[in-house]
A and B are shown apart, each in its own frame.
Chain A
Amino acid sequence: MVKFELKVNGQEYQLEIPADVSLLEVLREYLGFTGTKEGCGQGECGACTVLVDGQAVNACLYPALKAAGAEVLTIEGLAGPGGKLHPLQEAFISAGAVQCGYCTPGMIMSAKALLDRNPTPTREEIKLGLAGNLCRCTGYNKIITAVEKAAAAINKEK
């Protein structure tokens, strides 16, 4: 067991964890951030996507201890003060981009990483940005539309 401090959604947590435990297990089992999902556990589906220092990573393959000193952002950290939903969350709801919802947190975190880097992506760029996230339900079109809507909303707010 290794003693370690992890920063998630702006808050520091003291932990004692096995040296090879994944960031996904720490988030879900140690800290209760169950918004981040486990799909395949092998890097193939993107359901576990979180941001580490702004970069999308598969938490299921990411050693928790690698996140020492970094900022981890999960879906729980996206809403603003008073629980005001992030424009991406709003857009996923209004565009009908959520069916069973299992892929949604990962999709939204990948979309956030994309929009932070490229605030006006084309549909093709959105597809490439979300290429590491699988959805069994929606057929993707509405997800891509939701990201376009969110981009427009964020750019209008600015």
Chain B
Amino acid sequence: MPQEYLLPASIEECLHMLAVYPGGRIIAGGTDLMLDLREGRKEAKALIDITRIGELKRISADKDRISIGAAVTHAEVAASELIRQRLPALAAAAGAVGSPQVRNVGTLGGNIVNAQPAADTAVALVALGARAVIVSAAGERQVAVEDLYAGVGRSQVDASKEILTKFIIDLWGAGDASAFARLARRRTLSLPVLNVAVRVKLKEGRCTRARVCLAPVVPRPLPCQEAASVLIGQPPTEEVIARAAAAAKQAAHPRDSLLRGPANYRKDMVEVLLKRALREAFGLPAEEDGHQGQTV
């Protein structure tokens, strides 16, 4: 049982607390950790709350990149004019998390370190090519978000020793676009059956860069090179979108799941969702594909 609840005001102070309280663990919003502690899935002797560290609450941009503090909440990301305009896939993903109450408290950093394969903002951050900055007593390292997974619910970030401080996302310049699509039983408070995110760059009528992420089809958000390579060098047409979506369907191997639905249905829906996301990113009209499920 935790004996202390500490509220450091700086990253240095937080590292010092992690050093002097063995068994200490970082807590951000607590929307995952409070239940994990209560149900004995995780343990901590001291809880070190990072949400009063100003640097971790900041969203900033220069001409080449956007940086988002790990303790920024989903509600703040979804409402940020900068994120909505420059990284719409992330704004949409953050806006799809849980409920207003969960979004007001849950953070981007917590969503990544909690390491669920279909965490909404993780899927967007992987498609955007985000890097996580991780600080410990040993120094600082940067790791691509997709490389932070050690297994379902297990992160490479050790929350008893290290702080994920921020995410860095390079801007791709003119023609940079992104989109997120999610399939769930209802619009709020429901696990995604599937979620996908895409990022593309259009130059002189062709797609010159592309990243695609699918989840949950393996135990972590899956970057889908097969679909991305179909797009590169091609014009943003329905025919190209259809080929990329077919490639994603081919690459995805979702499992049968009582919660999320049968594998063959979800494999088909990967194709449908990716088409929706790509049409949105390319600025093409949405098309009705006859499916009644909710997406955002």
Are chains A and B native binding partners rather than an unrelated pairing?
yes
- Nearest residue (CB) in A for B5 is A65
* Residue A138 at the chain B interface, CB threshold 8 Å: no
A46 to B105, CA, bound (A): 14
Interface centre among B5, B47, B187 (most CB of A within 10 A): B5
Interface centre among B2, B4, B99, B101 (most CB of A within 10 A): B101
Q: Given contacts A57-B101, A68-B7, is CB(A20)–CB(B188) below 8 Å? A: no
Contacts of A110 in B (CB 8 A): 100-101
Q: Given contacts A19-B46, A20-B37, A62-B30, is CB(A43)–CB(B5) below 8 Å? A: no
Q: Report the minimal beta-carbon distance from A147 to chain B, rounded to whole angstroms.
A: 14
Contacts of B232 in A (CB 8 A): none
Contacts of A129 in B (CB 8 A): 100
* Residue A66 at the chain B interface, CB threshold 8 Å: yes
CB-CB contacts below 8 Å: B4-53 with A: 4-5, 7, 27, 30-31, 34-35, 37-38, 44, 46-47, 49, 51
Query: Is there contact, CB below 8 Å, between B188 and A66?
Result: no
Interface centre among B75, B99, B187 (most CB of A within 10 A): B99
* Residue A22 at the chain B interface, CB threshold 8 Å: yes
Contacts of A44 in B (CB 8 A): 189
Query: Is there contact, CB below 8 Å, between A63 and B99?
Result: no
Which residues in B have some Cβ–Cβ distance to A below 8 Å?
1-5, 7, 27, 30-31, 34-35, 37-38, 44, 46-47, 49, 51, 75, 98-102, 104-105, 187-189
User: Other than the known A65-B5, A132-B100, what 16 A-B pairs have Cβ atoms closer than 8 Å?
Assistant: A2-B5, A19-B1, A19-B3, A19-B46, A20-B2, A43-B101, A44-B189, A56-B104, A61-B31, A63-B49, A65-B7, A65-B49, A66-B5, A110-B101, A132-B98, A132-B99
Which residues in A have some Cβ–Cβ distance to B below 8 Å?
2, 18-20, 22, 42-44, 46, 49, 55-58, 61-63, 65-66, 68, 110, 113, 128-129, 131-133
Nearest 3 CB-CB pairs, A to B? Answer: A132-B99, A65-B5, A131-B188
